[in-house]
Structure formats: structure tokens, C-alpha cells
Amino acid sequence: MSRAARAQPAATPVLLEARGLTRILPAVVPVTLVEDVNFQVGAAEFVAITGPSGSGKSSLLYLLGLLDRPTSGEVLIGGARTEDLTSAELAHMRLEKLGFVFQFHFLLPEFTTLENVMIPMQKLGKLSPKDQLDHATALLAGLGLEDFLHRRPAQLSGGQRQRVAVARALANSPDLILADEPTGSLDSAATEQVFESLQKIVETRKTTVVAVTHDMELAARMERRIHLVDGHIDWDRHQD
């Protein structure tokens, strides 16, 4: 079996699987974003997706996060197939099973830090208002933001806003977080804070994090790296 298609050890639960994943944009000259991508990601993994500009990194992440549909192939989340789900069913799966962190935080400016983190819980509707408040407070405290609960995004630094976005991604206790250039707009100090926050999530909460990054120093610190070239997996290996 090639390294690009290497499966996790049998004892490791598979949280995310790409099977023959292909995305082609229809046009006069069709554009292939990713082609025949196959891999599995298990529990408590910290995975970097790297590659040159235009290699399909973000396109792949959007497919994995069910934010875009493949032209062919499929994505499995926790062993569940997703190809035949309706748009509403995909939205519910994203809300319940996945957490997202993007390059720009996308916090709602009119809401406080606490309120932003509580929004996914309110949408899912599994917790009482008090439990939502308690859970959001604990998440923010765990990321060193206990003194900023009632501030609005404009009153926070870039690194603080991204850590709020990480807390929001954890709101519904997903097993898997997908991050697209989560440190791409930050300075070196804030980059380190956000990276350490993601690393802590993997180590203490056993949450899997798959992150697209152009920062090779950060990628080298993650336990596994999947490298794309021209929409294909060039190599996939665990790092020492």
C-alpha cells in the first residue's frame, strides 16, 4: 500500500476518511482542484495539510468539512457515509460532529466573547441556557481567556480573537476540528499562542485537529503531515 493511502493502525478509531475524493470545477476548460485523494485520520491526531500555493489544500479541507461536495468519491465522518445526505443533514452533521477554525475568525462583532462561543450550542439545542453558559465559560478559561468573557471582538487582539474562534469550534464537543490557515493572519507571538491552544486540545481533550498551513515550522511540529501537489497526495507520513 502506498504511503498516500496508508490506513491507521487497527486499534485506532477512524474519525475521518477520504475515499477517491475528486473535485472538478465545471468550465470551458474544467479545473481539477483535488483528484483521487485517499486517506484516514484517527483519534487524537494532529495533522498538517501542506503543499504549494494552488495545490488544493483549502479545497480538500472544504470537502472534508462537508462545506463543498465532491465531483466523485466520498467523505466518511466517524464511519458514516455522507454522499447521499441532504443539505440540511450535512449542516446538522457539521454542527454536531465538526468544529471549524478559519484564517479570519468570523466572530460576530455585536456579540461578546461568551455569546460568540454559545452560538453553536444554541443552534444544536442540546444544552440548557445555564449549561451553555457554563460550558462556554470553561472553554474560554481553558484557553486563557477568562478575563475577556464580556468583551466584543474589536476589544481583543488578533491572537485572542483566534483563540475565541478555537473555543467556538469546541462548543459542541466535536471529535474533529478542521482549521484552514488558523495562524495565517497573525504575528509570531499570536501564532505560537494559537498553535499551543490547538496542541493542547489534541493532548488533553483527545480531539483530532487537521490543519491546512503554509507555515513549515508549525507543520514540522505536528505529528503527521499530508503533502499535496497539483491536487494529489505527494506523500503522507508521521513525523518524529
Residue 233's nearest CA partner among 22, 9, 16 is 22
Tell the residue number behind the cell numbers 468519491, with chain if given. 73
- Catalogue all structural domains in the chain, each as residue range(s) with its CATH number: 3-238 (3.40.50.300)
Q: According to the model, what pLDDT value does residue 191 have?
A: 92
Q: Report the b/e string of 182-218 with b at 16+ CB within 10 A.
A: bbeebeeebbebbbebbbebbeebebbbbbbbebeeb
pTM, to two decimals: 0.90
| Ordered mean pLDDT values, 10 residues apiece, the chain (240 residues) | 43 87 91 95 95 94 96 95 94 95 90 97 96 97 94 94 94 95 88 92 94 93 96 91
Q: What pLDDT score was predicted for residue 105?
A: 82
Contact between 189 and 220 (Cβ < 8 Å): no
Classified as helix, coil or strand, 229 is strand
Residue 6 has what pLDDT? 46
CB half-sphere exposure, 148, CA atoms < 13 A: 22
pLDDT at 27: 85
pLDDT score recorded for residue 184: 85
pLDDT of residue 40: 96
